[in-house]
Amino acid sequence: MSAFRHLPLGQRIPGSPHSVSCSLPTMRDVRGYEEKDPAVTKHLTSGYPRFVVHPFARRLAEYFTASLPELKHHALWLTSSEKMARALAAQLGDASGVRLFSREGLHGVSHPAADADTSRRAKLFLQNLGGFLSSREAEDQLVRLGLLAAPHTEEAFPGGQAACAAEVRRHLRRALPACGDSDLILANCGMNAIWSAFRAVAELQATRGRTIWLQLGWLYLDTICILQKFTGTPAADYVYIRDVFDLGALERIFAAHGARIAGVIAEVPTNPLIQTPALPALAALCRHHGARLLVDPSISSAWNLDVLPHADVVVSSLTKYTASEGDLTAGLAAINPAGPDAAELRRRIVAEAEPLYSRDLARLAVQIGRTDVVLAQIHAGTARVAAFLETHPAVENVFWALSPASRANYQRLARSPQATGGMITFTLRRIGALEKFYDRLRLPKGPSFGMTTTLICPFMYLAHYDLVTTPAGLAELAASKLDPDLLRLCVGTEPPEEIIAALAEALG
């Protein structure tokens, strides 16, 4: 019997109430999700935690807005901390009726429910920074209030928060042996780790007159948003370098503006084209000119790539590969202790980062020890699936860690020849073939990656729906050599022959 079957719309993947993915089985469902079509959204019990407010958090907010007179006719955004609530209130600024909320150890921001613009801005801010309340914390509060009988039963690491943190860092030190415990700063999600590192570097470098930030290649949606929204003067201080391989362009920018460049953010490899820049050369440029380099290896993971020697801070999503069961979010900012600003960045990032909730930490501590085994299984399947796609006549382009364009750059950083990560992206040869292929495919279909469960999604539709649906957006994608119909596949631990069989069936 095949490991794969069609999953109904909205089914949690993998199945826990804390799952980070959910099934979007057809392109019609994908469009309906993006367009907030009630016929689709009514089936979605959850979604990726930074994009969909978890049902437990929604229920908790509804309890407070219904029971507290001062919140009548208000929307309530529950946040990961009081600090995040205050940051959100400051961001909403002049919006009328915005109030800080604090009760029973919970924090958030409320505003008149009819104010759709403030609601949109609040959600985007919390999405960009990773500021939503943890689903497990919301669950515990619902139990405390008698609104749930008991929390979901799951395996957790024994001992208190300190023991769980020590266990997580013990494993992280195997991937980042140059780091001491204080260099390994945990956050509630990968985006919050990126935000915290960006904020720390930006504020420190601004004291030196450095405000320009460089984006190397197409990055993940919210990383781009942080650079576009939170640099000092985005029109002047944000520079997008489209081609990750164009070292000459980098050299020219540094020659012209080196004394004003605060930092560079680079994904190694990039999402979604899985391109690996010449990281040692980039690092040398940054160090020569006094810029700080933030490197995000989430697509393959710090387990697979030795990037710390080239970075000032390694920022990574631990949701991927380490939390491989797909039921929590977590992030890491790892300080290079040999970096020139290590002590100051350590202090600033610790102050900025949103900590992991205790139950999320205990759950991560259980899963992180399995990372080596999970990655070995994923790697064994990834090479076979990539080889199948590269030779299939219906497939136009295939991108993965060992694609020819940046294989040498990747292999210089890889800890072993097999250490590729599970990500493969590809396009179909026939125009308009996406919908038929996607709808027929039996693989699990939803956001996220780096799980034991294989996942595929039409990435540009989920991450950049505004771009794939407008002429200007399509032109922007074309300028960055991104096909709007690009499919992002992350191989899981299922038998590779079954993954290949499901792809072959849908490709026809």
Averaged pLDDT for residues 19-35: 96
Q: How confident is the model at residue 32 (pLDDT cuts 50, 70, 90)?
A: very high
Residue that has been written with the tokens 């759950």 in this structure: 363
pLDDT 10s digits, 210-237: 999 999 999 999 999 999 999 988 888 9
Q: SS3 of 484, please?
A: coil
pLDDT 10s digits, 341-385: 999 999 999 999 999 999 999 999 999 999 999 999 999 999 999
Percent residues over pLDDT 70 in the chain: 100
Residue 161: name the closest of 139, 140, 143, 186 by CA: 186
Q: SS3 of 226, please?
A: helix
Residues 20, 326 contacting (CB under 8 angstroms): yes
Work out the mean pLDDT of the chain and round it to a whole number. Answer: 96
Exposure string (b/e) for 294-318, b if CB count within 10 Å is 16 or more?
bbbbbbbbbbbbbbbebbbbbbbbb
pLDDT 10s digits, 387-419: 999 999 999 999 999 999 999 999 999 999 999
Please calculate the CA angle 50-51-55 and round it to the nearest 5 degrees. 90
φ and ψ of 41, to 5 deg: -65, -25
| Helices and strands of the chain, counted as H and E runs | 21, 16
Tell me: pLDDT of 2 over 80: no
Q: Is the full-model pTM beyond 0.85?
A: yes
Cis, peptide link before residue 417, omega less than 30° from 0: no
Q: What is the pLDDT of residue 421?
A: 97
The DSSP output letter for 258 is G
Q: Give the span between the Cα atoms of 158 and 496, in whole angstroms.
A: 34
Q: Catalogue all structural domains in the chain, each as residue range(s) with its CATH number.
A: 55-132 (3.30.70), 161-368 (3.40.640.10), 371-507 (3.90.1150.10)
Q: Give the span between the Cα atoms of 239 and 249, in whole angstroms.
A: 11
Q: What is the pLDDT of residue 1?
A: 53
pLDDT 10s digits, 270-313: 999 999 999 999 999 999 999 999 999 999 999 999 999 999 99
Averaged pLDDT for residues 106-120: 96
Q: What is the pLDDT of residue 232?
A: 85
